[in-house]
Structure 1
Amino acid sequence: MNDTQQTKGQPDLFPAALFGLCPRCGQKTMFASVTRFADRCRACGLDYDRFNVGDGPAAFLTLIVGGVILALALLVELNLDPPLWVHILLWVPLTVASVVGALRVSKAMLLILEHRNQAGEGSIDRDEADQ
């Protein structure tokens, strides 16, 4: 969305996802915990439960982050040959932080895009079903 299409109060996609901003009013009310959505926006009352983000990003991001961390760990091992405890102290926290951070941002992006595109579960037109 550019500035001419954007309605008042709606934040841009990337800052909103990064900071957990409500897609309707722009307040920091999207998350109740690190990766769990709040039930609704405390400022404008937007019901976050009606959006179905699911756990799709979790497996995808874990594989991507795992590949990146593995490549970095191999580079460190082959170039510096540190002891095992250095690998544990370096890669375990970095992996956890990367997965959780990426999961939070990707879930927020999906929720914001669902809100902006008015996406919902598909349904059969009742008039066509009656015929």
Structure 2
Amino acid sequence: MTDTAQIFVSEERPIKPAMWRGLRRKCPNCGEGHMFDGYLKVADSCPVCNENLSHHRADDGPAYLTILIVAHILGFGIHFAWSWFRPEPMVMATIFTVGSVALSLFLLPRLKGMIVAIQWAKRMHGFGNSN
């Protein structure tokens, strides 16, 4: 490996700013361009800084984290609602069903953006070859 290649590979990318940018669904490199072309489709490159984002391998990670977070929040909410208010079962089921779908749809693209940003910052899955 040449000296310039070693310098390029050892150049550190800060992970915390990248994670925050990913949570905002922005490019992990510049923080300006949109990371997604649609609801969950990651753009091939950033429209602002032209960073290549096609290397990502988010797979099932965002869905797993979404289920984990939503289940914990709603589990606590169901326990609290039943202990304090004792609503009718159908009312409670309707409210928590709508809440779980809404929270899942809100969190899923944000968590996918965060996972792609972590992969970018750690130079995983081909992100080490780009600036």
| TM-score (norm: length of structure 1) | 0.69
Instruction: Say which structure, 1 or 2, has more relative contact order (CA 8 Å, 6+ apart).
Output: 2
- Cα drift, residue 103 of structure 1: 2.3
Paired residues of 2:33 and 2:47 also in contact (CA < 8 A) = no
Helix, strand or coil at the partner of 1:69: helix
Q: Deviations over 1:19-42 (max 9, x none)?
A: 211112221410122333223211
In structure 1, what is the equivalent of residue 89 of structure 2? 84
Amino-acid identity (%): 22
Tell whether 2:44 aligns with 1:39. yes
Tell whether 2:73 aligns with 1:68. yes
Alpha-carbon distance in structure 2 between the residues aligned to 1:109 and 1:92? 26
In structure 2, what is the equivalent of residue 104 of structure 1? 109
Tell whether 2:43 aligns with 1:18. no
1:113 aligned to 115, 118, 127, which one? 118
Structure 1 segments, 4+ long, off by >3 Å, are none
| TM-score (norm: length of structure 2) | 0.69
User: Which residue type is aligned with residue 57 of structure 2?
Assistant: N
Helix, strand or coil at the partner of 1:13: helix
In structure 2, what is the equivalent of residue 56 of structure 1? 61
Moved more, 54-63 or 21-30: 54-63
Question: May I ask how many residue pairs the two structures share in their alignment?
Answer: 115
Q: Which runs of 5+ in 1 are unaligned?
A: 122-131
Helix, strand or coil at the partner of 2:106: helix
